[in-house]
Structure 1
Amino acid sequence: MSHDYLSETPLLDHENPAIQELIAQRGWAALSESERIGAAYDFVRNEVLFGYNSDDSLPASQVLADGYGQCNTKGTLLMALLRALGIPCRFRGFTIDKGLQRGVVPELVYPLAPRNIIHSWVEVQHRGEWLELEGFILDQGVLTALQAAFPDRNSLCAYGAGTDCLQAPNVAWSGKSTYIQKTGINRDFGVFDSPDAFYADHRQLTRFRGLVYRLIIRHWMNRRVARLRAGRVPTIPGGENNLVPAKSISMQKEAE
């Protein structure tokens, strides 16, 4: 099977004028390979805020226009920027336990959320190896608020975070893999050339539930994220038991 990790696709629309203009304005094309990866990564991590778009399968140019995104949509934008900068990259698909979204999904509708939620990260080819990039999902404002709210915790699986090192997570680009939701992962779909290839077979929140999500629930979630970013972290029913990583929850159930 041949792979093309640099081509444009309908979702990775890196020839879009807005994406090309961003790259030109920032002068990213003149940077070294590591600096190009870091510039695109830092932009997506902090200048594209953590939030919920209307759909996972949005073109990168639409995510850029929205100015916010979550794992899947921010990943699409990062991939488009990397390919536009001549950096080979690919898509890795997963699901995460919905417990990772506790505190962001309103409690009124949390029981209706799918048990397993579509998740992804970006794999980038750098210096002869594939690195896993996931640490771009939460912007620094959200991460700082969580660190302040849970100063004595390192393991957290809620509020959009899934990490065993909350106070010092590996989220900054330094030429190595980065993570912020890894401990919530409960299924691995493998590697895909593009998000287009993944979403052709894996979709979520379609039909009526998808409509309700797009028109009502995601806006509710985005308001909760904005309050979280401002330091008003909502309380989760069940307390400490609902803040442990999803894998630990599964292990506990098996032990019972």
Structure 2
Amino acid sequence: MIEGTALLDATPLLDFRADGIVRLIENRGWLRLSKHDQIGAAYDFVRDEILFGYNRADDIPASRVLADGYGQCNTKGTLLMALLRALGVPCRLHGFTIYKALQRGVVPEAVYPIAPPEILHSWVEVWNGGRWVELEGFILDRVFLGSLQQTFADTESLCGYGAGTDCLSAPPVEWTGGNTYIQKTGIARNLGTYDTPDRFYGEHGQQLGPLRDLVYRGIVRHWMNARVRSIRSGRVPRIPGLKRREPLRKEVANAA
């Protein structure tokens, strides 16, 4: 049983009273839906209408992610949480790290060796049907994921290009009331659950250092976004030495 309002509160990052978020919910008519359908509508919007891509930082407000129109696990998660709370659906963040091998192919090979061994990751947990449901499958938009599925049609296990799954042809990414995943098999460490992304990023910000952070924001992320657009259009760069049929965890161990 969920008690209190902590899992429904607005915060500086979960700024669901911002005009853009309020208008989105009103225009889509989501308040008239059942709770199950409200979760699905918010989930599908964040998955497919907010494209996979890299924002300037993890700890940006939901309204900024909406305005950007793209995001990755952490920023898309912040927007999904804000939408859910605006709809009266309790939710929380579950933090992790993922092996950097999961981002290979999106991270340019020239900078991949100096990327941190583990990268900050999170998914959203929503209270539905009397239990916590884990939502991670919203990270990759349908077109981007489809391009990976077409390129790697000969394998089920993939660690790279933003995906970490053992069932690439049919990953559990659709909202049906249960858990959804698309990067789960690349997880390195469990950092626990947090009522808000504000507290999570306050404790676990990605430690790049001032110089690498400046280079990431000003150069590398734009390079990564260009590669994402290329992948979405069907031009998927080859990862040197990628063994398509190797078990994923062995692949991660070899590449990390």
| TM-score bucket of the superposed structures, by smaller chain | over 0.9
| Cα deviation, residue 251, structure 1 | 6.2
Gaps of 5+ in 1: none
- Percent identical pairs in the alignment equals 62
Q: Distance in 1 between matches of 2:117 and 2:245?
A: 14
> In the aligned structure 1, how far is the partner of 2:68 from the partner of 2:123?
20
Change (3 A) 1:107 1:46: same
Alpha-carbon spacing, 1:252–1:237, altered in 2? closer, same or farther (3 Å): closer
Provide the residue aligned with 1:62 in structure 2.
64
**Aligned-partner residue type, residue 28 of structure 2:** R
Where do residues 160-175 of structure 1 align in structure 2 (5 Å cutoff)? 160-175=162-177
How far apart, in 1, do the equivalents of 2:216 and 2:93 lie? 25
Q: 1:229 to 1:250 in 2, by over 3 A?
A: closer
Following superposition, the deviation at residue 241 of structure 1 comes to: 6.9
Match of 2:224 in 1: 221
Q: How high is the TM-score relative to the length of structure 1?
A: 0.95
Deviation at 1:3, TM superposition (A): 7.1
1:158, 1:242 within 8 Å by CA — same for their partners in 2? no
Change (3 A) 1:252 1:225: closer
Given candidates 168, 187, 211, the residue that maps to 2:189 is 187
TM-superposed CA distance for 1:208, in Å, is: 1.0
Tell me how far apart the structure 1 counterparts of residues 65 and 246 of structure 2 sit (CA, whole Å). Answer: 29
- Report if aligned partners of 2:98, 2:189 keep a CA contact under 8 Å in 1: yes
Task: State the one-letter code of the partner of 1:83.
Answer: R
1:212 CA drift (Å): 0.4
Is the Cα–Cα contact under 8 Å of residues 14 and 61 in structure 2 kept in the other structure? Answer: yes
Deviation >6 Å, runs of 4+: 250-253
Distance 2:109 2:245 in 1: 13
Q: Distance in 1 between matches of 2:254 and 2:55?
A: 33
Match of 2:250 in 1: 248
Aligned to 2:211: 208
- Of the candidates 49, 71, 74, which is equivalent to residue 73 of structure 2? 71
- Residue aligning to 2:199: 197
- 1:234 corresponds in structure 2 to 237
Residue identity in the other structure for 2:129: R
1:147 counterpart residue number: 149
Task: Call closer, same or farther: CA 1:3–1:28 in 2, change over 3 Å.
Answer: closer
RMSD: 1.8
How many Å apart are 1:92 and its aligned residue? 0.3
Aligned equivalent of 1:178: 180
Report the residue type matching 1:226 in the other structure.
Answer: R
Q: Tell me how far apart the structure 2 counterparts of residues 19 and 150 of structure 1 sit (CA, whole Å).
A: 37
- TM-score, L = length of structure 2: 0.95
- Matched letter for residue 39 of structure 1: A
Give the structure 2 partner of residue 130 of structure 1: 132
Shift of 1:243: 7.2
Q: How does 1:6-155 map to 2 (within 5 A)?
A: 6-155=8-157
CA distance in 2, matches of 1:243, 1:20: 46
- The CA deviation at 1:239 is 2.6
C-alpha contact (below 8 Å) 1:93/1:189 kept by paired residues: yes
Gaps of 5+ in 2: none
